[in-house]
Chains A and B, each alone.
Chain A
């Protein structure tokens, strides 16, 4: 399973059961990244892709435990703790600080960062994509 998350400068993911932020450029990046592979999300996150769904969007109340090897799982508001064994973790960093009560609590320092790329978003000046294996 390949885990996708969006994080602020303090590894925050969500506040009050809502994502910290969204950017249509990131949404498109994720759609492109997944290609024909399944992308698992919950119903809340699936709405991000309403206008341009990925090739194989699969919606579940527990997407983290549904995604299998080679498949993607995009988590925004749910705990990521059980994703510790993910074969790959893709992080989109907002490079901003937002309120947080859900944080990303996996230890990325035990992994190798194999790719870093920066790009401008629609509503964010600079977004950083990092891939950890």
Chain B
């Protein structure tokens, strides 16, 4: 209960502040629905300073040097809200990161483009990075984020905080809020705030907005559909023609992952597959008549 109260208070302050500098902010229970007009459009830099780089923590929050971590419950659309922590050595991982592939954040698509580093357009982006609070498959801490957001936008700040804590054994207030427009399933970006407690922010102070974009790719943020820049966004088939399918090895049919037949099939016959439709047909599989993949 105490943790929940702290999260609600933090969100209220954040919401107020966002409203103040947006002029048209709207706040829902668990996701900040925020007019982005005062944040400049993406212009080639992965992040931009917000509020003169001054985080929105209250004076009382800035005095807290006790480690905690809080993740807002998912909203009615299944979207993440604010993730907030006072990060210290005691929360940092002591073992390698585990598997998180079972989590499918809102707007998730497995889609590849040759122009993307590693080809996968989307990553399961930790709001608070694993190196800070050791959270694995926590669905309240994972959003659908582009490779660019993950590596160019968020990772530099996670590294900054992690290495500062390792060097000083101090604590850092760290809050990440995904910003969704309306009912979009994919966030436009994330607001990231950091403040080092014991030295009054001398070591770490930042307040930035990181863009959930991928240069060369157009994204439909309502659904997560995507296309090469200049083309019309479509579903899961990217530039490589590959996507996720579910195979029924008994009937030799292949299905879209959300097909009812895929849900109903015997576990023994079920096989997940990522590749092209043509390859499956060459292997003797036929498309399902219900979902028509």
Q: What mask results when residues 43 to 59 of chain B are scored 1 for a CB within 8 Å of chain A, else 0?
A: 00001010001000000
Which listed segment binds B: A29-37, A59-67, A72-80, A91-99? A91-99
- Chain A residues, CB < 8 A from B164: 21-22, 123
A122 nearest CB neighbor, chain B only? B167
A23 at the interface (CB under 8 A from B): yes
Tally of contact residues, A, Cβ under 8 A? 19
Q: What mask results when residues 5 to 32 of chain B are scored 1 for a CB within 8 Å of chain A, else 0?
A: 0000000000000000000000000000
Asked if A18 contacts B203 (CB within 8 A), the reply is yes
B165 nearest CB neighbor, chain A only? A123
Known A-B contacts A15-B206, A123-B166; A20 and B160 likewise in contact (beta carbons under 8 Å): yes
Cα–Cα distance between A52 and B54 once the two chains are bound (Å)? 32
Cα–Cα distance between A3 and B203 once the two chains are bound (Å)? 23
- Chain B residues, CB < 8 A from A133: none
- Chain B residues, CB < 8 A from A94: 163
A109 at the interface (CB under 8 A from B): no
Cα–Cα distance between A124 and B167 once the two chains are bound (Å)? 9
Which size class do B's interface residues fall under? 10 to 19
Asked if A97 contacts B156 (CB within 8 A), the reply is yes
A121 nearest CB neighbor, chain B only? B167
B234 at the interface (CB under 8 A from A): no
Q: Which of A1-51 contact B (CB under 8 A)?
A: 8, 15-16, 18, 20-24
Asked if B156 contacts A99 (CB within 8 A), the reply is yes
B49, B155, B163, B204 — most chain A CB neighbours (10 Å): B163
Asked if A16 contacts B205 (CB within 8 A), the reply is yes
Asked if B204 contacts A18 (CB within 8 A), the reply is yes
Main secondary structure of the interface of A (DSSP, over half): loop
Q: What mask results when residues 93 to 122 of chain A are scored 1 for a CB within 8 Å of chain B, else 0?
A: 010111111000000000000000000001
Asked if A24 contacts B167 (CB within 8 A), the reply is yes
Q: Which of B161-200 contact A (CB under 8 A)?
A: 163-164, 166-167
A23 nearest CB neighbor, chain B only? B167
Asked if B160 contacts A99 (CB within 8 A), the reply is yes
Sample 21 A-B pairs with CB under 8 A, ordered by A number: A16-B49, A16-B205, A16-B206, A18-B205, A21-B167, A22-B167, A24-B167, A94-B163, A96-B163, A97-B159, A98-B156, A98-B159, A98-B160, A98-B163, A99-B206, A99-B208, A100-B156, A101-B49, A123-B163, A123-B164, A123-B166
| Residues of B in contact with A (beta carbons under 8 Å apart) | 47, 49, 53, 155-157, 159-160, 163-164, 166-167, 202-206, 208
